[in-house]
Amino acid sequence: MFFLAEYAAYSKEVVAWMSALALLEFCCQELNRLHVITAEPLFSSFVLFIRQGLWIVVAILLMATSSEMRNINTVFICWSLACVLALAISIKRITQLNIGGWKESIDWAWVFNGVKTSLFFLVGTLSIRALLTFDRFYFESLMGVESVGVYVFYIGVASALMTFLDAGVFVFAYPDLIRYFNEKKHDLFKRKIAGMLGQVCIASLLFTVISLIALPWLVEWISKPAYDRFSFLYFWLLGAMILYGLSMVPHYGLYAIRKDVHILASHVFGFIGFFLGVFFLRDVLYRHELVVPIALCASFFMVLAIKSVLFVRFYLIGVGSINGVGSR
């Protein structure tokens, strides 16, 4: 997104596109959450694939078949059309559910309570997103602008793991976690946590094997020496994403038992840990290209460790003192 940020400074058209896409993505994401709430995680994943996966394939095919389509407008058009299509499909599906209450008065107290709760997650999410934003800047400051494109490529491939985990594991699991905890079905709750952990491990292993097989072919197709020279970065970045994925298991456990502040704290500590790691490693490692990837791994390991300890403390050990009454 950095090249878009720089380009946006010189183009009102890009600002307009990004503003429209931000609104569309927001609406699509909220409707996706509604699909999850209504116990339709598979449909939610299908809609998510349309707006985060399908349009990319279409854009690549268009650019491959026509040189005139190889521009930023093709990306924006395909992305926007995918969001509009996903939005239309979601709205049509919701109208088929015959959900009542649309004309009833709004419970503003409930809305404000939701806003207060969401603020914790906003700060926590921004901490993680900032971590996965400033890493590019630090890598550029250490290695130069010519190398940051290679870094963005490899972390983009590694980050695809989280997309698969979100759509294939977490979106199916966390509604059950919340329900089991509220109904005090602790055996099912623990079983679901263990199942999530197993699914994340298996998915991470499969993704690692497939990506390590496919990546050399992709690098050869790109045909730029820098991508081959820095290929070792992928192992570190993939390791960071696997740690991130594993951290989401205790994350959703803490979310289900309503320990929102503790989730926020873990993200903030991870964010701070990344900066401390970068400042320390840049004076220790003679290979500066490893500073950011190793700091990223250390940061996500810290997040995983904090969430795991908190989950064990508040649920596995303190399950008897947890008040399971109430709901999300």
| Residue 45 falls inside a structural domain | yes
Q: Is 327 a residue whose pLDDT tops 50?
A: no
Q: How far apart are CA 8 and CA 2, in angstroms?
A: 10
- On whether both 167 and 314 belong to a single domain, the answer is yes
pLDDT tens digits, one per residue of 45-72: 888 888 877 888 888 888 878 888 888 8
Q: How far apart are CA 300 and CA 231, in angstroms?
A: 21
- On whether both 87 and 131 belong to a single domain, the answer is no
| Residue 246 falls inside a structural domain | yes
- On whether both 83 and 130 belong to a single domain, the answer is no
| Residue 104 falls inside a structural domain | no
pLDDT tens digits, one per residue of 121-180: 777 778 888 888 888 888 888 888 778 888 988 998 898 899 889 878 888 888 889 889
| Residue 1 falls inside a structural domain | yes
Burial class (CB in 10 A: 0-12, 13-18, 19+), 120: middle
In the chain, pLDDT over 70 holds for what percent of residues? 92
Q: Is 8 a residue whose pLDDT tops 50?
A: no
Q: Which residue range(s) make up the domain with 297?
A: 117-319
- On whether both 152 and 297 belong to a single domain, the answer is yes
pLDDT tens digits, one per residue of 86-117: 999 999 998 887 777 777 788 888 888 878 77
Instruction: Please compute the mean of the pLDDT values over residues 235-263 and round it to a whole number.
Output: 93
Longest dimension (CA), the chain: 65
pLDDT, residue 85, reads 94
The dihedrals phi and psi of 327, each to the nearest 5 degrees, come to -150, 160
| Residue 110 falls inside a structural domain | no
Instruction: Please compute the mean of the pLDDT values over residues 197-209 and round it to a whole number.
Output: 95
pLDDT, residue 283, reads 83
Q: Which two tokens stand for residue 165?
A: 């985990």
Query: What total of structural domains would you count in the chain?
Result: 2
Q: Name the residue type at position 69.
A: M
- On whether both 161 and 38 belong to a single domain, the answer is no
Q: Is 291 a residue whose pLDDT tops 50?
A: yes
- On whether both 130 and 90 belong to a single domain, the answer is no
- H helices within the chain, ranges in order? 2-8, 12-37, 41-49, 55-65, 72-95, 108-143, 145-165, 171-182, 186-222, 225-229, 233-256, 260-281, 291-311
Q: How far apart are CA 320 and CA 85, in angstroms?
A: 47
Q: Which two tokens stand for residue 322?
A: 């947890």
pLDDT, residue 318, reads 63
- On whether both 87 and 142 belong to a single domain, the answer is no
pLDDT, residue 319, reads 58
Which residue, among 57, 33, 55, 56, has the nearest Cα to 44 in the 3D structure?
A: 33
| Residue 69 falls inside a structural domain | yes
Residue where a domain stops, chosen among 96, 129, 154:
96
> What sign does the CA torsion over 17, 23, 25, 28 have?
negative
Question: What is each CA distance from 309 to 226, 250, 312, 313, in whole angstroms?
Answer: 40, 9, 5, 6
Query: Measured in Å, how far apart are the chain's first and last C-alpha atoms?
Result: 34
Residue where a domain stops, chosen among 62, 96, 130:
96
pLDDT band at 320 (very low <50, low <70, confident <90, very high): very low
Q: Which residues contact 59 (CB under 8 A, 6 or more apart)?
A: 74, 75, 78, 79
- On whether both 188 and 221 belong to a single domain, the answer is yes
- On whether both 86 and 142 belong to a single domain, the answer is no
- On whether both 199 and 90 belong to a single domain, the answer is no
61, 80 Cβ separation under 8 angstroms? no
- On whether both 68 and 122 belong to a single domain, the answer is no
pLDDT band at 241 (very low <50, low <70, confident <90, very high): very high
Which residue, among 287, 147, 141, 144, has the nearest Cα to 228 in the 3D structure?
A: 147
Which residue, among 242, 234, 171, 172, has the nearest Cα to 206 in the 3D structure?
A: 242
| Residue 327 falls inside a structural domain | no
- For 281, other C-beta atoms within 10 Å of its C-beta total 19
pLDDT, residue 7, reads 46
| Residue 289 falls inside a structural domain | yes
> What sign does the CA torsion over 67, 72, 75, 81 have?
negative
Instruction: Please compute the mean of the pLDDT values over residues 182-201 and round it to a whole number.
Output: 92
Q: Is 5 a residue whose pLDDT tops 70?
A: no
- On whether both 282 and 173 belong to a single domain, the answer is yes
Residue where a domain stops, chosen among 66, 96, 126:
96
